[in-house]
Structure 1
């Protein structure tokens, strides 16, 4: 699996459906679609986007994409959907030894079969996307989602025990079983295991700890860590624990990881619960970074940090509050398709 800063052919995004599976009421659908459309337009400033819409929503998706400043096209295609988290329900794209495109088709069953989730259609989406991309499908028996792993493109992967060893996902599996399957599918030969994710992501509508909200590679040997500096928030303890583990880890080359703290937004609660707002959940695109913004005092600091870490790429901020309100982040909305390589 190439690193996300490698060259992309396109980004795939799913359009929110009327039957949004994360428990969002139907009257909130317009807000969700406005938020997703903003992400689509931001990504399309840098590379083509293929927007997958449920057959009943194709016309709406096409109307929503008219106008607006984009440098690249947005191609709307039809496929049956339950939800709009393409990172999790779509395939994980990889390249073979010959440079040709492959698509890992994990078993998807609603983030551990959670009682609010439906996946009648989404369990087939990875295969449908693989076909449309012209990729060789790589079926996997592992219950996983794309947000459950983050790679450096050289053979190192970040992942959490709370997801990949979740008894509701992969009962009876141990670390070695997961590691063998990741080596076969995404070419990861060095696994850096973290025990859990952010507190809110372990809540009622969370994923039980996706790694892409809390830690991500920004370069070989460099890991971004969601850093909650306020002891009043339970993620402060999580940040301390994960920093200790990551600082003691090595990548596939045997080099110690450099851990870069990415301060969390200063907002701690949304009025009902702790927030999992995280700048780590961003999308790296060709020549740019689509970064979350929260109308928060730390937005600018985070965007400047991302610009520096990604070697001067243009950083475009988008208001991500409506996305996070629905249980995921900007990274969860997107799935990059790498360019094929000759030879």
Structure 2
């Protein structure tokens, strides 16, 4: 009998939140400001649910100093700290048993600045530590490249899973078949691209989790850049058109709720990709990005509070995280809560490669 796996919506109850702590590398430098930002996200999330933080031995002292004492620290070798991407995607089977999809991770398409020998092992290690059945996949993919509604719909972008540096033999049909097998996605909504800065040196080439998310079935929160001077003004319009033409797994057109970008257009590196879409949902709460723009930050909190009724929205200054190439959602990974089950987890098995030939 073939097991059917499904990735729950992020709004489903969590067992815990997984993160990884920054260590010195090209992305973070010495990392004091970045470490403080990562710790602030973890400490905010820990007020709502359990948090486990992977920490490289070289960063142990800094992590101990900055993290709330309630956060579980697991020492493990790391290259980077974007656990949404290097870690597993958690799924449940029909009986509520936990699985962990172990995607192939190759540094977002093999960037010359990236190292991933250690991070490529994190997905399986986290899955095993969580007591999950590890489900190997031969798809090069990252958790930031997918968003689901828990009912069969997945959002993704053409420039990530179809990136020839990631999956040179893949096409839409093969990607969709693998997402159906691993996360139970029966209907894919392909967006044409991501935000402009995400194609720069430290970018992911278009992760969807900075552009759009599904707070509840049939609704999409969409990043909206309202200033025509910013290149994402045109990108936002393009993404809106794509979503207006799409439906979800149930055949419903999407209600599109705009999340306007903050007023800042540029930093020292160029046009920013600051986005309130890149938040993480936790038990009874939302950890949201703030950007030092009091009016826009407050407006975003109001939108998120309406989109996630009954949850308290807490903002964390995400500018130091975005300067490294991502946001709050990018550094977190939720593990869904599971009911007690009698069957014990069993190791995953390697399957033939559906992305070649």
The TM-score bracket by the shorter chain reads over 0.9
1:201–1:327 CA contact under 8 A, matched in 2: yes
Does 1:107 find its partner at 2:104? yes
CA distance in 2, matches of 1:309, 1:321: 23
**4+ residue segments displaced more than 3 Å:** none
- Structure 2 counterpart of 1:15, from 21, 24, 29: 21
Partner in structure 1 of residue 286 of structure 2:
289
CA distance in 2, matches of 1:174, 1:342: 39
Aligned to 2:248, what secondary structure does the other structure show? Answer: coil
Partner in structure 1 of residue 271 of structure 2:
274
Residue 342 of structure 1 and its aligned partner are, at CA, apart by 5.1
Residue 66 of structure 1 and its aligned partner are, at CA, apart by 4.6
Residue 57 of structure 1 and its aligned partner are, at CA, apart by 2.5
2:193–2:206 CA contact under 8 A, matched in 1: yes
CA distance in 2, matches of 1:205, 1:272: 11
Residue 120 of structure 1 and its aligned partner are, at CA, apart by 1.1
Partner in structure 1 of residue 163 of structure 2:
166
1:229–1:236 CA contact under 8 A, matched in 2: yes
CA distance in 1, matches of 2:91, 2:313: 25
2:43–2:68 CA contact under 8 A, matched in 1: no
Partner in structure 2 of residue 308 of structure 1:
306
Aligned to 1:162, what secondary structure does the other structure show? Answer: coil
Partner in structure 1 of residue 29 of structure 2:
25
Instruction: Flag structure 2 segments of 5+ consecutive residues without an equivalent.
Output: 1-6, 342-357
Does 1:200 find its partner at 2:200? no
How many residue pairs were aligned?
334
Residue 25 of structure 1 and its aligned partner are, at CA, apart by 2.2
Aligned to 1:12, what secondary structure does the other structure show? Answer: strand
1:264–1:279 CA contact under 8 A, matched in 2: yes
Does 1:321 find its partner at 2:319? yes
CA distance in 1, matches of 2:86, 2:191: 22
1:79–1:128 CA contact under 8 A, matched in 2: no
Does 1:60 find its partner at 2:62? yes
Partner in structure 2 of residue 182 of structure 1:
179
CA distance in 1, matches of 2:275, 2:195: 9
CA distance in 2, matches of 1:145, 1:315: 26
Does 1:50 find its partner at 2:60? no
CA distance in 1, matches of 2:62, 2:260: 37
Residue 165 of structure 1 and its aligned partner are, at CA, apart by 0.1
Residue 49 of structure 1 and its aligned partner are, at CA, apart by 0.1
List per-residue Cα deviations over 1:259-307 (Å, max 9, x = no partner): 1111011110013300000000001000000000001130000001100
CA distance in 2, matches of 1:241, 1:111: 23
Which residues of 2 match residues 255-270 of structure 1 at below 5 A?
255-270=252-267
Residue 63 of structure 1 and its aligned partner are, at CA, apart by 2.7
Which residues of 2 match residues 73-92 of structure 1 at below 5 A?
73-92=70-89
User: TM-score with structure 1 length normalisation?
Assistant: 0.95
CA distance in 1, matches of 2:61, 2:272: 34
CA distance in 2, matches of 1:334, 1:160: 20
1:213–1:281 CA contact under 8 A, matched in 2: yes
List per-residue Cα deviations over 1:6-50 (Å, max 9, x = no partner): 00000001010123x53x322xx1111100010000100100000
- Structure 1 counterpart of 2:330, from 308, 329, 332: 332
User: TM-score with structure 2 length normalisation?
Assistant: 0.92
Residue 86 of structure 1 and its aligned partner are, at CA, apart by 0.6
1:152–1:220 CA contact under 8 A, matched in 2: yes
CA distance in 2, matches of 1:309, 1:152: 14
| Structure 1 residues 240 and 66: alpha-carbon distance in aligned structure 2, compared to 1, 3 A threshold | closer
